[in-house]
Structure 1
Amino acid sequence: MFSSSSSFFTPSTTAFSTSNIFGSTSTYASVPASGNPSWSVPNSSSTSAPASSPSRWNQSTVTTPANEKPLIDTEDDLKKRISFLGGFMVAFKEKIHTDIKLMPNNGPSISAHKSVLAARSEIFKNILSSDNYKAPPSDTDTITLSELNTEELKSLLEFLYTGDLPADKFKKHVFALYVAADKYEILYLQESCERYMLNSLNVSNALDVLEISDSHSNKNLKEKTLNFIVRNMKSIVSLQKYEDFASSNPHLCVEITRAFVDAKI
C-alpha cells in the first residue's frame, strides 16, 4: 500500500492498528518516522553538456535535493489522517449538526447527515433534492427505510460513514445490506456484499445466495453460486432446506437441474 516504485530507496514497513468509533479495528502498513532512506544523487557530469552541443543546454534537468524527505506517509502521518477523517464519524455518533432522520421498520429513528447520504447514493440524493426536503432542516425531516430493521440500518450507516464493516456484521446482515445497496444504488456496498457472499459460500447458505442473486439479476453472483451448488449437489439436495426452497423457487430448481446435467455431459 505504501511501497514505492522508485529506484532511489526501498523503505521498510511496519504495521499498526487503530480502532474507530464503531468498535472496528483497522490495520495499516506504514513507514517508520525514523526511517532514513538513502538517495542517489546524479553526478554533475551527468547533468552537464559540452560546449559543442548547445541544444542539450535547453533541456531541463530535475534533481531531488539530498536532504529532501520522500513523500511517503509515516505512521504519525497516518494517525493524523485517521484522526482528521474520524471527525465526521464522531459527528454522526454524537449527532453533531445532523439534519435528517432515518426510520427503520422497528424502533426509533436514527439521526444522520444529508450530505453523507447524498454523496453515497444517487437515490438518496434525488430524494433529498425533492421539494419536501428543500426547506431548512427541521426535526420532522425523515426518510423511512422499511426494508431494514434497526440493527441493519445502523450497519448501513456505519458503512456509509466508514466504507467498511466488521466481518461479524457482514455475516449477520449481508443479505439485507445487499438489498438496500441495490435499491439505493450504493454500488460499492453492493460489490462488498457480493464479494463477502462469494467468499463465504457454503452448503448451508448457497440456496439463499442463489435466490438473492436471481431476484436482483446479478448474473455473476448467480453463475458462480450455481457452479458451487452443482459441485456440492448431493449435500445440498439432501437438506430439508432444499425442499422448502423448491416449493417457492421451482424455476431455480429447473436451472439447478439443467446446470447439473450440463456439467455431467
Structure 2
Amino acid sequence: MDCSICSSLPVILRPPRNTICVSCYDGAKCVINLINKLQNDRKPTNNNVSPVSPIGSSCKTLTNASKWIIDLKNREDELEDKINFLAQFTAAFRHQIHTDIQLNPGSPASPSISAHRALLATRSEIFKNILDSDGCKAAPTNSTITLPELSHEELESLMEFLYSGDLGEEKVKKHVYSLALAGDKYEIPYLQKFCERYMLKWLNCESALDVLEVAEVCSCRALKESALDFIVRNMEEIVFSSGFEAFALKNPHLSVQITRASLMDARKNRPNSSS
C-alpha cells in the first residue's frame, strides 16, 4: 500500500488518497501517547497551577504534536541560555575573582582553595551555619573552613561542582564516593542525586559493595536496595572477590543483610516442594 507519509512520492498522495502504512500509523499513535503522558506527568510550577501548554490539555493530532515539540525545543534553547549565563560565575572561581574565604583539605601539607562565602552559604545549609558562626564573622578576610575528610583533589572537585552544577565524567568516576558522602554531610541534595545517578549507571560487580556502603552511610534507601539486589543476583562472583573479606570485616551489619537477602531470594525462587 502506498503511504502518504513515507512513500518516495508523497506529493501525489494528497487527500482523499491520504492512506498511511501500519508503521506510520503506529508511530503516530506512539508520539501522541508519549506527549500526552509527558503532559500529564508535568508537575505544577507553583500554587498548584499547571504549566501553560500551547496545545491545550491533550494532544490528539500530529499537528498539535509538532507544536508541542517546537515548544519543547524553545524551552530547551531558553534553558541553555540560562545555563550559559549562570555558568559565568564559574569563571569567578577559576580565576579567583574577589574570593573571600579559604577552604582547607584534610591534609595539612595540601594547599588551600579560595572560594566565595555567598556561594557556599547558598549551596549548603551546613556551610551557611558555619559561616554564620562568630569565628568566621570575626575576621572575614582571613577566615578558613577545614574539610578534614576530603583530599585536595576531592575538595577541588566539590568546589567545581558547587560553582557549575556539573563535573567531568573522569572526575566523577574518581571521586564519586567521596562526593556523595560530602553531599550527605554538608546537606547538598543536588550533589547527592547527581552522585546516585552515576553510581547506579556504573553499578557492577567491582563497585557494588562500595555503592552499598555509601548508600548505607547516606541513608539512601533506593540506592541501597538497588545495590543489594545487584549483589544478590551476582552473589557468587562478589562474595568470592578479593575485596569482600575486607568489606565484611568493616561492615558486619551489611554482610548480615546481604546473607539474609540472598536466603530470601533463594527461598522465593525455590521450586514448590509439593509439586
CA distance in 2, matches of 1:185, 1:87: 24
- What code does the residue aligned with 1:169 have? K
Q: Counterparts of 1:193-204 in structure 2 under 5 Å?
A: 193-204=195-206
Under a length normalisation based on structure 1, what TM-score does the superposition of the two structures give?
0.70
Q: Is residue 254 of structure 2 the alignment partner of residue 252 of structure 1?
A: yes
In structure 2, the partner of 1:10 is 67
Aligned-pair distance for 1:220?
A: 2.0
In structure 2, the partner of 1:53 is none
In structure 2, the partner of 1:85 is 86
Give the percent of matched residue pairs that are identical in Structure 1 and Structure 2: 53
Q: Is residue 159 of structure 2 the alignment partner of residue 102 of structure 1?
A: no
User: Residue 165 of structure 1 is aligned with which of 164, 167, 177?
Assistant: 167
Aligned-pair distance for 1:74?
A: 5.2
Deviation string, structure 1 residues 40-90 (Cα, Å, up to 9, x no partner):
xxxxxxxxxxxxxxxxxxxxxxxxxxxxxxxx6758x955x4553233211
User: Residue 146 of structure 1 is aligned with which of 140, 145, 148?
Assistant: 148
Aligned-pair distance for 1:137?
A: 2.4
Which structure carries more relative contact order (alpha carbon 8 Å, separation 6+)?
1
CA distance in 1, matches of 2:212, 2:83: 38
Q: Is residue 129 of structure 2 the alignment partner of residue 126 of structure 1?
A: yes
Q: For residue 192 of structure 2, give the secondary structure of its aligned residue in structure 1.
A: helix
Q: Counterparts of 1:37-48 in structure 2 under 5 Å?
A: none
CA distance in 2, matches of 1:78, 1:250: 47
Under a length normalisation based on structure 2, what TM-score does the superposition of the two structures give?
0.68
CA distance in 2, matches of 1:254, 1:84: 50
Q: Counterparts of 1:9-88 in structure 2 under 5 Å?
A: 10=67, 78-79=80-81, 81-88=82-89
Structure 2, unpaired ranges of 5+:
1-38, 40-51, 56-63, 268-275
Deviation string, structure 1 residues 201-250 (Cα, Å, up to 9, x no partner):
10001111112222333222222111110001111112121122222222
**Count of residue pairs brought into register by the alignment:** 205
Q: For residue 251 of structure 1, give the secondary structure of its aligned residue in structure 2.
A: helix
In structure 1, the partner of 2:178 is 176
Deviation string, structure 1 residues 20-52 (Cα, Å, up to 9, x no partner):
xxxxxxxxx955xxxxxxxxxxxxxxxxxxxxx
Structure 1 ranges of 4+ moved more than 6 A: none
Structure 1, unpaired ranges of 5+:
14-28, 32-71
Q: For residue 134 of structure 1, give the secondary structure of its aligned residue in structure 2.
A: helix
